Structure 1
Amino acid sequence: MDKFPRDKQNQLLTILYDKFPDELSSEEYDTLVKLFGTERNLYSNLWYLYQHDLIEDFHLKTRALYDDITDLILIEKIKITTKGVDFIRDDGGLSAIINVTTIKIHNETLDKLEDIINKSSLTPAEKATYLGKLKELPVDATKHLVLKLLDLGLSRTPDVIQLISSYCQSQ
């Protein structure tokens, strides 16, 4: 059996998501123990999720099993974090909105694309067609094209690193 089953971790986070901002009841806690088979397995998964900042710090208490043997499994105050909520959300939550990087495309970028087309081995008619279409592209399509070109360039990482290195050394 996998000690860290993703499906059960997802169920645990979903239970905490549905419960947020409240803490688990003892019955819900017992449900989680049954889900993971043992309190120790639950504890291991809670600790794992805590280390990934998906749940808040939870408190351990010891309880006497027998006269002098204790077990450190009784867990209280388990709550999902905002990072956990964003993880469970299909849309990525607020993190997907807040952590957006804006790329501005300047006319120089389009000029460079035109230079690439002009220096290519395309026929003059093909060059004219592509240059005309490039100028007619809506802003969103131009952004998409530039991002795809960036992806293509980054897929050739060794070449990109070599170019960056040579450029930095010449400056």
Structure 2
Amino acid sequence: MMSTVIPSNVVYLSADQRQSEVIESAMRKAGSSVVHLDVGAAVDNDSLIDILNLELVLPDPIGGIDGAIDWISDTDYVANESGMVWFVTGHGNLLADRMETLKSFIIVIVGVYDRLRTQNVPFVVAFMGDDKKIVSKLSEMFEQENESMRQAAKYPGTIDIQEVFVVDYPDF
């Protein structure tokens, strides 16, 4: 049986079902938290926060984007020291007519990434689907947020953003 090693802090902008199975299997074997997030119903930041509260099973309701980043990156509650992976669906709906909500979601991802990176906790995000326009827009939005973070000197590096997850599929 072949073992798959998943890079520890990366955002995949495009993943199909088989790729997500490989990522999920490897992350579960490592003891990571696995979360499937459907953000398609988020119509604004408040409903995005509601979705995060529900899907991440937070101990207390979170208030706002900063509160979401605080709770989600707390390894005593949501993330665990073995890491966390999110499989994201519904983001195409946000891209169509709710760009500010999608931007807020990306800010949450970048904020959680930054906090977990400083704790050496793996964090992987895989956006499901392969629509080239969506992948291109996500890439642009993440690059903008990376640049904003660099300019604010909040972290020296950038999130490893990869268009697709490429792997030799193991037998598992």
Q: Say which one has the larger Rg.
A: 1
- The two structures have a TM-score, normalised by structure 2, of 0.23
- The two structures have a TM-score, normalised by structure 1, of 0.23
- Of structures 1 and 2, the one with the larger relative CO (CA 8 A, separation 6+) is 2
- Please state which structure has a larger fraction of its residues in helix: 1
